């Protein structure tokens, strides 16, 4: 992947790929350098930024070819150069960030914290890693207890063991760390090689299975880029979450919260609603939302505006209001983005399912996993192909063309077998979600 260097007068330096992003962008930091990836390809850096060339050079060892970073650091403004490819540690950080940001199925937030702790520690961010490990220590204890109680023998053991071994001294109470390691290693020793053969064969498709497959109140899909992740219930790419009711010179938006959402938390209580002109996308009015029972609701005054000429949306407080686009193109991209996220989430779930088979699995359980993984992969391929077709109809600007090309690339990527291990394979939280 090639891109362009930007060397600013203040000494800061950045590099941007000449390509669009289908899923994300996923922004994270490694050793003080900001990196951006497409969630579907966490190995490929699509943008980076550092305060100066020396800071950029200091992270060169985190990439597969440090010379590429050296070339960017030494380049003049406007130079076109090849982009860096992330090494395993950075790929893991990117994968965890992507899963946390984009996966649509419910994930245990505490287990996700363990993922962040391990990824940060592996990538040299020991301060952040230690902080996360301390917060997630009780989660590790709960998981080890559940693994022992269920006599679980799957890959969750090895992922959790890696995290426990990486945790700094003092993370766990005296004696607990040794006990965790003993329990987890004991189960790894009982894992048979044939199960890895099953996973590899299933991922490659060798075990693929063929399965059959006028009121004033309206409903619309939510733009998932604008609301906190996993806040609203999600029934599918085309299933609307937001109910819109036209009143007397006002419009009310309402959406169901997920059962796992803290109704007293900031994410649920810092949402607001916006109303924009449907043709220009110009924002016309807004109002804060409130939690009512298990729903989030907001009523926006129209000030005489015809309700048939506006589009509405729920927006999280951390969203840059200038990025909200509610014209026709923005609405179309929101729909495509939902399809891409759903397809990617299903593809990753298939990988976690395939990796979940253990030495204790019965023939019936193996068959059940194979069918579930096959369904997830077929669903992913069907949805992303539809998204690519819709994206191909977008045209007019270089940005739209790049986005359409990125979605097409995503479609090709998701036709491949899902990762079942390694730095881009299932996270602890994904394995935990399918473990029992």
- CATH of residue 293's domain is 2.60.40
pLDDT at 2: 94
Structure confidence at residue 200 as a pLDDT band (50, 70, 90): very low
Query: What is the rounded average pLDDT of the residues 255-276?
Result: 93
Domain housing 387:
330-421
197: left (phi over 0), alpha (psi -120 to 50) or beta: alpha
Please check whether residues 302 and 334 belong to one and the same domain: no
Please check whether residues 343 and 303 belong to one and the same domain: no
Among residues 298, 323, 348, the one where a domain terminates is 323
CA distances, 256 to each of 211, 313, 315, 408 (Å): 32, 14, 14, 32
| pLDDT tops 90 at residue 213 | no
Query: What is the rounded average pLDDT of the residues 252-261?
Result: 95
Residue 337 φ then ψ, to 5°: -60, -40
Within-domain flag for 428: no
Please check whether residues 382 and 337 belong to one and the same domain: yes
Please check whether residues 353 and 278 belong to one and the same domain: no
| DSSP code at position 286 | E
Please check whether residues 352 and 300 belong to one and the same domain: no
| pLDDT tops 70 at residue 414 | yes
Please check whether residues 79 and 15 belong to one and the same domain: yes
Within-domain flag for 404: yes
Please check whether residues 344 and 312 belong to one and the same domain: no
244 in Cβ contact with 253 (< 8 Å): yes
Give the separation between CA 168 and CA 175, rounded to whole angstroms: 14
Query: Coil, strand or helix: which one is 389?
Result: helix
The tally of domains found in the chain comes to: 3
Please check whether residues 235 and 302 belong to one and the same domain: yes
Structure confidence at residue 194 as a pLDDT band (50, 70, 90): very low
Output 126-130 pairs: Cβ under 8 A, ≥24 positions apart.
Answer: 126/168, 129/166, 129/168, 130/168, 130/171
Within-domain flag for 126: no
Residues 6+ apart with CB under 8 A from 248: none
Query: Coil, strand or helix: which one is 262?
Result: coil
pLDDT at 357: 82
Among residues 52, 86, 120, the one where a domain terminates is 86
Structure confidence at residue 75 as a pLDDT band (50, 70, 90): very high
Residues 6+ apart with CB under 8 A from 1: 17, 18, 19, 44, 45, 46, 82, 83
Within-domain flag for 211: no
Residues 6+ apart with CB under 8 A from 202: 208, 354, 369, 370, 373
| pLDDT tops 90 at residue 78 | yes
| pLDDT tops 70 at residue 409 | yes
Residues 6+ apart with CB under 8 A from 249: 301, 302, 303, 304
Give the separation between CA 403 and CA 409, rounded to whole angstroms: 10
pTM exceeds 0.85 for this model: yes
**For the purposes of burial, counting CB atoms within 10 Å of the CB of 62, is it exposed (0-12), middle (13-18) or buried (19 or more)?**
buried
Within-domain flag for 160: no
Within-domain flag for 199: no
Among residues 86, 104, 130, the one where a domain terminates is 86
Structure confidence at residue 193 as a pLDDT band (50, 70, 90): very low
Choice among 75-79, 107-111, 278-282, 354-358 with the minimum mean pLDDT: 354-358
Within-domain flag for 317: yes
Please check whether residues 363 and 390 belong to one and the same domain: yes
316 in Cβ contact with 273 (< 8 Å): no
């Amino acid at each position: 992947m090639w891109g362009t260097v930007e060397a600013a007068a203040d000494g800061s330096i950045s590099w941007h790929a000449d390509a669009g992003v289908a899923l994300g962008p996923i922004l994270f930091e490694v050793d003080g350098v900001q990196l951006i990836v497409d969630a579907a390809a966490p190995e490929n850096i699509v943008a980076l930024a550092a305060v100066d060339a020396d800071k950029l050079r200091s992270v060169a060892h985190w990439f597969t070819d440090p010379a590429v970073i050296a070339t960017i650091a030494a380049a003049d403004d406007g130079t076109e150069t090849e982009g860096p490819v992330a090494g395993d540690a950075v790929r893991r950080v990117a994968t965890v960030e992507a899963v946390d940001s984009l996966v649509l199925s419910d994930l245990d937030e505490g287990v996700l914290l363990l993922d962040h702790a391990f990824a940060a520690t592996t990538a040299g961010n020991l301060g952040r890693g230690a902080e996360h490990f301390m917060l997630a220590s009780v989660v590790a204890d709960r998981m080890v207890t559940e693994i022992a109680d269920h006599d679980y023998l799957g890959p969750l053991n090895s992922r959790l063991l890696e995290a426990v071994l990486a945790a700094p001294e003092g993370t766990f109470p005296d004696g607990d760390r040794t006990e965790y390691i003993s329990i987890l290693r004991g189960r790894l020793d009982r894992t048979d090689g044939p199960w890895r053969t099953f996973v590899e064969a299933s991922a490659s498709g060798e075990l693929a299975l063929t399965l059959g497959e006028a009121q004033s109140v309206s409903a619309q899909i939510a733009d998932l880029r604008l609301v906190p992740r996993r806040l609203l219930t999600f029934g599918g790419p085309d299933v609307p979450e937001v109910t819109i009711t036209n009143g007397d010179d006002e419009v009310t938006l309402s959406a169901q919260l997920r059962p796992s959402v803290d109704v007293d938390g900031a994410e649920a209580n810092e949402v607001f609603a916006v109303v924009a002109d449907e043709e220009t996308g110009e924002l016309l009015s807004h109002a804060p939302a409130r939690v009512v029972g298990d729903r989030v609701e907001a009523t926006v005054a129209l000030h005489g505006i015809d309700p048939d000429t506006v589009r509405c949306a729920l927006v999280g407080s951390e969203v840059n209001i200038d990025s909200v686009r509610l014209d026709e193109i923005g609405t179309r991209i929101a729909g495509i983005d939902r399809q891409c996220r759903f397809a990617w989430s299903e593809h990753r779930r298939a990988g976690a399912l395939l990796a979940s088979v253990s030495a204790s699995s019965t023939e019936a359980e193996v068959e059940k996993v194979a069918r579930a993984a096959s369904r997830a992969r077929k669903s992913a391929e069907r949805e992303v192909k539809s998204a690519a077709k819709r994206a191909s109809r977008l045209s007019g600007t270089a940005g739209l063309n790049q986005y359409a090309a990125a979605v097409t690339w995503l479609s090709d990527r998701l036709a491949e077998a899902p990762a079942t291990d390694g730095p881009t394979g299932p996270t602890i939280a994904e394995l935990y979600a399918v473990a029992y």
